[in-house]
Structure 1
Amino acid sequence: MSKAPIFYVMGVSGCGKSTIGKLLAQEFDIPFFDGDDYHPEANVKKMAAGNPLNDDDRQGWLERLNTLSIEHKDRGLVIACSALKKAYREILREHVTSQVAFIYLSGTFEEISERLLQRKSHFMPAGLLQSQFDALEVPSDAITVSILQNPETIVTEVIGIYKTKKP
Structure 2
Amino acid sequence: MTSFVPASIVFMGVAGCGKSSLGVAVARKLGRVWVEGDDFHSSHNRRKMAAGHPLDDGDRASWLAALGEQLRLHPGALVACSALKHSYREQLRSASPGLRFAFLDVSPEEATRRVSARGSHFFHASLIDSQFATLQSPVGEPGVLRLDATLPLEQLVNQVCDWLPANAAATLR
Q: Which amino acid aligns with 1:127?
A: S
Alignment check: 8 A CA contact 1:9 1:80 kept: yes
State the match for 2:171 in structure 1. Answer: none
Query: Whole-Å Cα distance in 2 between the matches of residues 44 and 106 of structure 1?
Result: 24
Instruction: Tell me which of 50, 53, 56 is aligned to 2:52.
Output: 50
Alignment check: 8 A CA contact 2:71 2:95 kept: no
Q: What's the TM-score, normalizing by structure 1?
A: 0.92
Alignment check: 8 A CA contact 1:143 1:162 kept: no
Kindly indicate whether residue 146 of structure 2 is the aligned counterpart of residue 147 of structure 1.
Answer: no
1:85-124 matches, within 5 Å, as: 85-98=85-98, 100-124=99-123
1:1-167 matches, within 5 Å, as: 2-73=4-75, 76-98=76-98, 100-139=99-138, 140-141=140-141, 142-163=144-165
Secondary structure of the residue aligned to 1:97 is coil
Query: Whole-Å Cα distance in 2 between the matches of residues 143 and 81 of structure 1?
Result: 15
Cα RMSD of the aligned pairs, angstroms, is 1.3
Deviation at 1:148, TM superposition (A): 1.4
Query: Whole-Å Cα distance in 2 between the matches of residues 58 and 123 of structure 1?
Result: 16
Q: Which amino acid aligns with 2:109?
A: E
Secondary structure of the residue aligned to 1:114 is helix
Deviation at 1:81, TM superposition (A): 0.7
Query: Whole-Å Cα distance in 2 between the matches of residues 19 and 163 of structure 1?
Result: 22
Deviation at 1:70, TM superposition (A): 0.2
Deviation at 1:3, TM superposition (A): 3.0
Deviation at 1:162, TM superposition (A): 2.3
Secondary structure of the residue aligned to 2:158 is helix
Q: Which 4+ residue blocks in structure 1 deviate beyond 4 angstroms?
A: none
Alignment check: 8 A CA contact 2:102 2:160 kept: yes
What whole-Å deviation, never above 9, does each CA across 1:6-58 have from its counterpart, x for those lacking one? 11000000110110010111122111111010001111111111100000100
Residue ranges of structure 2 left out of the alignment (5+ in a row):
169-173
Secondary structure of the residue aligned to 2:84 is coil
Q: What's the TM-score, normalizing by structure 2?
A: 0.89
Residue ranges of structure 1 left out of the alignment (5+ in a row):
none
